[in-house]
Structure 1
């Protein structure tokens, strides 16, 4: 599959890049995509939620009333969960939500995500560029050239391009990542995936192992 290489103004440069069908044109595996996205979101959870149970509540241990003869249920502690201000029954405790997936499945999920975006014409290849210094204004001008200022976009950088990364970091709907940090969730969450020309070979190398 051949794709035209565009410049930072959104114009064709006259060059084309060959995208491997084994990476960008496979039959998507929905279940692999689901598992990889689920793992990504689970790994981001802090898992620090905690509520106090009856043993952790501050309060008197005095028996509230006599055992029998009151006509109501017996009660031995103000910290019981049945009373207001008492402990919580089976409340949440700190836990780790992360889980593991094998590398082949994660690779399949990312290839599926890229194939979905390519099939829907949401994949763009742009010639490599950099800034002399971080400039959000210049990056916004590039977004405007591609009509992405109000859409979610993912720029996949080749080598460490710190100035471009810093220029996009303050923008809510634009994100820049290195090709080695590409993940299924961010690929599918973007309205447009913009690949630097130099990243194509690296992505194909990483996903064809």
Structure 2
């Protein structure tokens, strides 16, 4: 697959980049993408939820009423889940939601996400650029030139660039990552993918390891 390289004004530079068919041309595997996204979201869960059960509630344990003759059910403690303020039955307890995925599965999931974006025509290649200082207005002008201001956009750089990262941090629909930080969730979550020219080779080499 061949794409034109754009500059920060949104114009074609005349250069072309060929995306590897081994990554961007494969048949996307939706199931492994789902697994990887599920793992990503599960690993983000804190799992600190907690509710007090019967044994943990601090209430009187005296017998509330006599056993027989009242016409009602037997009741032995205010800690019972049947009473307001009593313990909860099978309440949530702290737990770890994370689970492991095979490295090859995760790799295939990222490949599938890249391939799905490329085959849907949602990938653009942008000429490498940099800012002398963090400037959200300058970053916004690039999105304007690419007609992506109101679009969920993921910008992939060849390497970490603090000025570009800080420039895009305040834009709610934009995320900036380096080629080594890309994960399946970010790829799926974005509507459009902008890959810096120098990042293409790094993305492709990351799958050949």
TM value normalised by structure 1: 0.98
Q: Please tell me whether the aligned partners of residues 157 and 179 of structure 1 are also in contact (alpha carbons under 8 angstroms).
A: yes
Distance in structure 2 (CA, Å) of the matches to 1:27 and 1:174:
27
Distance in structure 1 (CA, Å) of the matches to 2:50 and 2:180:
35
Gaps of 5+ in 2: none
**Match in the other structure for 1:68:** 68
Stretch deviating more after TM superposition (116-125 or 60-69): 60-69
Q: Secondary structure at the match of 1:55?
A: helix
Q: Please tell me whether the aligned partners of residues 63 and 76 of structure 2 are also in contact (alpha carbons under 8 angstroms).
A: yes
Distance in structure 1 (CA, Å) of the matches to 2:170 and 2:86:
45
Q: Secondary structure at the match of 2:131?
A: coil
TM value normalised by structure 2: 0.98
Distance in structure 1 (CA, Å) of the matches to 2:198 and 2:161:
12
Q: How far 1:58 moved relative to its partner?
A: 2.0
**Match in the other structure for 2:153:** 153
**Match in the other structure for 2:193:** 193
Distance in structure 2 (CA, Å) of the matches to 1:63 and 1:53:
19
Alignment of 1:29-108 (within 5 A): 29-108=29-108
Aligned length: 209
**Match in the other structure for 2:176:** 176
After TM superposition, what 4+ stretches of structure 1 lie above 3 angstroms from structure 2? none
Distance in structure 2 (CA, Å) of the matches to 1:154 and 1:203:
14
Q: Please tell me whether the aligned partners of residues 23 and 208 of structure 1 are also in contact (alpha carbons under 8 angstroms).
A: no
Q: Please tell me whether the aligned partners of residues 153 and 192 of structure 1 are also in contact (alpha carbons under 8 angstroms).
A: yes
Q: How far 1:71 moved relative to its partner?
A: 1.7
**Match in the other structure for 1:113:** 113
Distance in structure 2 (CA, Å) of the matches to 1:7 and 1:190:
21
Q: Please tell me whether the aligned partners of residues 160 and 177 of structure 2 are also in contact (alpha carbons under 8 angstroms).
A: no
Distance in structure 1 (CA, Å) of the matches to 2:149 and 2:60:
60
